[in-house]
Amino acid sequence: MRVELDQPKCVAAGQCVVAAPDVFDQRDDDGIAILLTDRPGEDLYEEVREAVAVCPAAAITLVEE
């Protein structure tokens, strides 16, 4: 699985960070999400899928490989 984050679409809600804190963080200056890793381990797949589901801006995409 590869995670893609469209930062221009991000509305800084922080839901991805709550759902998957090992994969997402937020910039200090404006709260926009950042990826800590674009290829999380299988143990994080469920959290990442939850982050995709709760993102109000639909800024996160999963690419199943």
Q: Please write the tens of the pLDDT for every residue from 28-42.
A: 999 999 999 999 999
For 39-56, what is each residue's pLDDT tens digit? Answer: 999 999 999 999 999 999
Q: What are the domain boundaries of the chain?
A: 2-63
Question: For the chain, what percent of residues have pLDDT higher than 70?
Answer: 100
Residues 4-25: tens digit of each pLDDT: 999 999 999 999 999 999 999 9
Rounded to two decimals, what is the model's pTM? 0.94
The class (CATH top level) of 2-63 is: alpha beta
Q: What is the DSSP string of 7-65?
A: GGG-----HHHHH-TTTEEE-TTT--EEES-SS--GGGHHHHHHHHHH-TT--EEEE--
In this prediction, residue 65 carries a pLDDT of: 83
